[in-house]
Amino acid sequence: MSGWGMDQRSANQQNIQFNHLSQKDLPTFLQALGIGFSKNTVTEDYQLTREKLGTGINGSVVKVIHRQTGAEGALKIIIKESRNSELEVKLHAYASQCENVVRILDVYENIYRQRPCYLLIMECMPGGELFDRIQNTTQTKITERDAADIMRQIGNAVMFLHRRNIAHRDLKPENLLYSERNFQSLLKLTDFGFAKEVTQKGLETPCFTPYYAAPEVLNEKQRYDMSCDVWSMGVIMYVLLCGYPPFYSDHGFSISPGMKKRIRQGEYTFPDKEWKNISLTAKDLIKRMLTVDVNKRIDIYEFMNSPWVANVREVPSTPLFTSANMMEDPDCYRETQREMESALQTMRVDNKVKIRDVKHSKNRLIERRKQKKMEAGAAPQQK
């Protein structure tokens, strides 16, 4: 059976619990979700093209064509020894039920360059990565309302996962892809290589349904994993609204208690040029997502219920500086990516988020921004 012919989001499948299903072997698991599984060579069913859609840990993600239907797909190879490959396939396949997650259509278990691997056939996302799209938007400036709609879609995917006690733990712009080449198309989350289920030991019996587990049953470490997703969303939202990140990882150096205190008090800036016309509601929401204290940070449900997200149509359509800033300094985006990657790595390793506020950063990008401001005769501003 293949995922092409099935609507994976039928009502009864929405109710299949990951915890219950994950006990099953992979073929049974995938079958229950309407996803094809085969040990044959992938080329029997798909024609591989030379079109590279992106680069992953195990090489390129390439476009493929389904021989029977002519439909396009994207092939990703997951080497079995890398990460927890079966769990990655299961979590991604399970999350495919959400409309804001890239769908898996077929899975092949096979050998690639003498190494056992899984080959994932996903729906093809020709719209590409979120920030590439924003960077390349030349004709129209994205507006605050566009940003709210983008964040609502990301939130929808994250809420689907958190409701089922799954943390993604790798929320970054490269893992957010557009289904088509226009802004109206759906934005979807992908790459479940770091995702994990955060149910408590003892509750992981097949009859326990984690969907209904209240957040209080999760211990601090478990809540931390989900809360990190909200933190990452806060960083993405900040970058979406201005084109540069709020603060920078400290490349592994520990930070002084005084610095930690400042960060806890939310000492990062909303520089006037980009932020003065942005609504207070948006800035307030960012502050609540970028609260360093996990216990005070909002959760995904509060995010989704906040007026900025719940009433997207009422968000002002103020044009943003995002595309201009990203285009003006081509290194800026790459640097933002590197900084997010290092912050995510730090968050996954331990509970201490090592971050610096803009004022104290020695980061090249920030130095350049400060320099530019000095040249323009304006002192860096704090809010």
Burial grade of 272 (CB within 10 A; 0-12, 13-18, 19 or more):
exposed
Output the smallest distance, CB 109 to ligand ADP, in A: 18
Task: Count the site residues for ligand ADP by CB under 6 A.
Answer: 21
- Annotated catalytic residues are 170
**Pair of tokens at residue 366:** 């920030």
Which neighbouring-strand residues pair with 61?
Answer: 54
Question: CA 176, 144, 137: angle at the middle one, nearest 5?
Answer: 60
Binding mask 154-193 for ligand ADP (x = CB under 6 A): --------------------xx-x------------xx-x
* Phi, psi dihedrals of residue 267, rounded to the nearest 5°: -85, 75
Residue nearest to ligand ADP (CB): 54
Output the smallest distance, CB 7 to ligand ADP, in A: 18
Indicate the residue among 123 and 357 with the shorter CB distance to ligand ADP. Answer: 123
* Phi, psi dihedrals of residue 291, rounded to the nearest 5°: -75, 125
Using the rule CB under 6 A, give the single segment among 22-30, 117-125, 154-162, 267-275 that binds ligand ADP.
117-125
Let me know: does 309 contact 298? Beta carbons within 8 Å.
Answer: no
Which residues ranging from 55 to 74 are in contact with ligand ADP (CB under 6 A)? 55-58, 61, 74
**Torsion, Cα of 25, 28, 29, 32 (10° steps):** -170
Residue from the set 54, 271, 307, 319 that interacts with ligand ADP by CB under 6 A: 54
Which residues ranging from 72 to 101 are in contact with ligand ADP (CB under 6 A)? 74, 76
Name the residue among 33, 118, 38, 35 with its Cα closest to residue 84. 118
Residue from the set 122, 228, 340, 366 that interacts with ligand ADP by CB under 6 A: 122
Q: How many Å apart are CA 346 and CA 222, to the nearest integer?
A: 16
The number of C-alpha atoms within 13 Å of 163 and in the hemisphere containing its C-beta is 16
Indicate the residue among 157 and 309 with the shorter CB distance to ligand ADP. Answer: 157
Which residues ranging from 187 to 226 are in contact with ligand ADP (CB under 6 A)? 190-191, 193
Indicate the residue among 88 and 146 with the shorter CB distance to ligand ADP. Answer: 88
Residue from the set 124, 167, 226, 358 that interacts with ligand ADP by CB under 6 A: 124
* Phi, psi dihedrals of residue 251, rounded to the nearest 5°: 50, 45
Indicate the residue among 336 and 361 with the shorter CB distance to ligand ADP. Answer: 336
Indicate the residue among 118 and 303 with the shorter CB distance to ligand ADP. Answer: 118
Instruction: Provide the pairing of β-strand 187-189 with 176-178.
Output: antiparallel
Using the rule CB under 6 A, give the single segment among 32-40, 51-59, 109-117, 281-289 that binds ligand ADP.
51-59
Q: How far is CA 314 from CA 143, 279, 307, 308, 317, in A?
A: 12, 11, 9, 8, 9
Instruction: By CB under 6 A, name the binding residues for ligand ADP.
Output: 53-58, 61, 74, 76, 102, 122-125, 129, 174-175, 177, 190-191, 193
